[in-house]
Amino acid sequence: MNSTEGVTFEPDDRSPIGLTVGVALQGVLLGLAPTVLTMSLFAGASGMGEHQIVWSVLVAVLVSGTVTILQATRFGLLGGGHAMITGTATSYVAVALIAVHEAGLETLATLIVVSACFQFSLARLLPRLRRIITPVVSGVVLMLIAVGVMQVAVERLEQPVAEGTLAAAEPIVAAVTLAVAAMLGLGARGVLRLWSPMVGILAGCAAAGLFGLYDTQRVEDAPWLAVPDPSIPGIDLTPGAQFWALLPMFLIVSMAATLKYIGDSVAVQRVSSQATRATDYRLVQGTVATNGAGSLVAGILGTLPVGAYGSTTVSLVNFTGVASRMVGYTIGTMLVVLALLPKAMALLLTIPDPVTSAYMLIFMGMIFVEGARSVFGDTLQPRKALIVGTSLAVGVGLQGDNIVADLVGAPWGTLLGNGLTMGTITAILLTAFVEVSSPRRRRLECDLGIDAFPRIDEFLYELATSVGWNEVSVERLRLVGEEAVASLMDANEDDARPRLIVMARPGAHVVELEFLVVLEEGNLEDQLAYLGEHTDTPEQSEVSLRLLRHFASSVRHRKYSGIDVVVVEVERSG
């Protein structure tokens, strides 16, 4: 399976200065827009004063630039070793607004600091939590986050307009922004498609100017070079009940963000090389740790957490063919310099609210789709569909008025009536119930090698016959086990013989097999997808993969640091 064939400069290569600056400039514009617009939406909805708005945006850009530089290098436990555009994490907007309105900026800063520390430990705990924090749960969380921020964006469109301005001006401007970005994204090709959100913003700003919604006074008043007086909210070292009521929301968002950053790091590594290479999970851990460190600093200084913009980075590498970490250093440096140019920051802050809201609707729409992919790509069986439906019903139903707060009062009504929190808790509890109430798992442990085949075959034969499967189904299950192990062996090119643990959960109609082995080079899901696109005569190493795809109902491959987890489901025939 090939990675991006168009990559001409890999991370370790030194790309020419002119090319590096050109690509970095594109990266700055692509990362700066969501950072400033997210902070603008948050600041406007939270009712910050002018000085606090300017300070929080400056810090957001400054921290984003610094983290982008760190992501491109390796500095102890920090750094992902790749050019990775970084900006404000949009997923925190909704919960941060609740925290500001309920408890103030100091409590918000404390919550961000604690949730940033949570990121450091969560990445190492994910293998142990894999049966509870499943793709279905993480997908539900992403969808609920998107719905929450969408609601904030729409509410900003309902703000009263200035006297003498057409009442429908803001909805029209938002519609123009959405329409231009969507149509260009659907119809354009190549690099123009990458720029469709930016073109939508420019079109929205032009429409806002026609309606008199564009105020340039802030730009005129801003100096060319200055550092504003700090406006640091401080950290609450003796948090009260409001903090503890709000903390679960931030930990849930932090969990979803961590899962996303892991996927982002894997994706960026995959597209940054000309040849297929094993995912380096030391770099994945470095990516997560760097995002956590950046969020920690952001919280202390009084702005929202930062995070990797993985999909934007992947698109930039695909379109330019440049993955040199020199681009990361240059992007980060440009962002730091821009943060010290108040005139440039003021220009970005003058983007009207309806344009900002429309942009966030597009951005959150893509996050919602990402969550849906996680859910529906996990083989949505009836029980999982019920988990998704119930969790979304609870979460979306509570996104409006907080009826629970009216019953139990503050502060715990804030927690129990929050859609994100209760929807996520519902998904986790239902997933845990399925795990506990399902038939007991059976276990086999052996070395990954040729001598494992007879033991696994006997293990699966006894398993299938114990639940009354017919001869055809038994044979199918045994073939799946054989080809899954063969595929894992083909993926391991080292001489070492890692331990293989096979976990089997029997059922009347479906048997779920879980193969746990030390980290391998390829991802079986990716390889199976590749085989679906190439139907030529298979190589010998592909035979097992093709047989596995044919006999298994689903194949999911999740890679963690130090452990590979392949989950295969086999349905009973007849």
Residue 533 has a pLDDT of: 39
Domain containing residue 262: 17-379
Cβ neighbors of 109 (< 8 A, separation 6 or more) are: 233, 234, 235, 236, 299, 300, 302
β-strand partners of 87: 307
- Decide: residue 508, CB within 10 A, 0-12 exposed, 13-18 middle, 19+ buried: exposed
Give the domain-ending residue among 330, 352, 379.
379
Query: In this structure, are 365 and 504 located in the same domain?
Result: no
Is residue 545 a contact partner of residue 489, using CB atoms and an 8 Å limit?
no
Of 260, 248, 295, 282, which Cα lies nearest the Cα of 124?
282
Cα-to-chain-centroid distance, residue 196: 21
Cα gap 429→58, rounded to integer Å? 41
Cα gap 3→7, rounded to integer Å? 9
Query: In this structure, are 196 and 324 located in the same domain?
Result: yes
Is residue 88 a contact partner of residue 34, using CB atoms and an 8 Å limit?
yes
Confirm whether 403 is domain-assigned: no
Three-state SS for 512? Answer: strand
Residue 550 has a pLDDT of: 59
Residue 344 has a pLDDT of: 80
Query: In this structure, are 369 and 460 located in the same domain?
Result: no
Cβ neighbors of 490 (< 8 A, separation 6 or more) are: 541, 544
Tokens representing 296 are 């920690």
Query: In this structure, are 447 and 352 located in the same domain?
Result: no
Query: In this structure, are 167 and 289 located in the same domain?
Result: yes
Phi, psi of 307 (to 5 degrees): -160, 160
Confirm whether 149 is domain-assigned: yes
Q: What is the pTM of this model?
A: 0.71
Query: In this structure, are 32 and 133 located in the same domain?
Result: yes
Confirm whether 421 is domain-assigned: no
Confirm whether 425 is domain-assigned: no
Three-state SS letters, 387-422: HHHHHHHHHHHCCCCCHHHHHHCCCHHHHHCCHHHH
Residue 364 has a pLDDT of: 81
Query: In this structure, are 147 and 226 located in the same domain?
Result: yes
501: alpha, beta or left, given left = phi > 0 and alpha = psi -120 to 50?
A: beta
Give the domain-ending residue among 328, 355, 379.
379
> How many domains in the chain?
2
CB-CB neighbours of 255 under 10 Å: 23
Confirm whether 478 is domain-assigned: yes
Cα gap 279→525, rounded to integer Å? 14
Per-residue pLDDT tens, the chain, 574 aa: give them: 334 446 788 888 888 888 889 888 888 887 888 888 888 888 878 888 877 888 888 899 999 999 999 999 988 778 888 889 899 988 888 889 888 888 889 999 999 999 998 887 776 676 667 677 777 888 888 888 888 888 888 877 776 666 666 777 888 888 999 898 888 878 777 667 767 878 888 898 888 888 887 777 777 777 777 777 777 888 888 888 888 888 988 998 888 888 788 878 877 887 887 766 656 767 888 888 899 999 999 999 989 999 888 878 887 887 778 889 999 999 999 999 988 888 887 787 788 888 888 888 887 887 888 788 777 765 566 778 888 888 888 888 777 666 665 665 555 666 666 777 888 888 888 888 887 777 778 888 888 888 888 888 888 888 888 888 888 888 888 888 888 888 777 655 555 567 788 888 876 677 788 887 755 444 444 444 433 434 443 343 444 445 555 566 666 666 665 566 777 777 776 6
Cα gap 163→108, rounded to integer Å? 34
Query: In this structure, are 464 and 329 located in the same domain?
Result: no
Confirm whether 73 is domain-assigned: yes
Is residue 328 a contact partner of residue 68, using CB atoms and an 8 Å limit?
yes
Give the domain-ending residue among 379, 411, 429.
379
Query: In this structure, are 373 and 480 located in the same domain?
Result: no
Confirm whether 402 is domain-assigned: no
Cα gap 7→265, rounded to integer Å? 17
Is residue 229 a contact partner of residue 275, using CB atoms and an 8 Å limit?
no
Confirm whether 131 is domain-assigned: yes
Question: Residue written as tokens 């079109």?
Answer: 203
Cβ neighbors of 431 (< 8 A, separation 6 or more) are: 131, 132, 134, 136, 137, 387
Residue 531 has a pLDDT of: 38
Q: What is the CATH number of the domain that holds 565?
A: 3.30.565.10
Query: In this structure, are 455 and 361 located in the same domain?
Result: no
Helices and strands counted in the chain (H then E): 23, 7
Residue 525 has a pLDDT of: 44
Phi, psi of 272 (to 5 degrees): -90, 0
Please spell the DSSP secondary structure of 198-249, one letter per residue.
Answer: HHHHHHHHHHHHHTT----HHHHHS-SS--PPP------SS--HHHHHHHHH
Query: In this structure, are 447 and 366 located in the same domain?
Result: no
Looking only at the bridges linking them, the beta strands covering 86-88 and 306-308 are antiparallel
Query: In this structure, are 349 and 478 located in the same domain?
Result: no
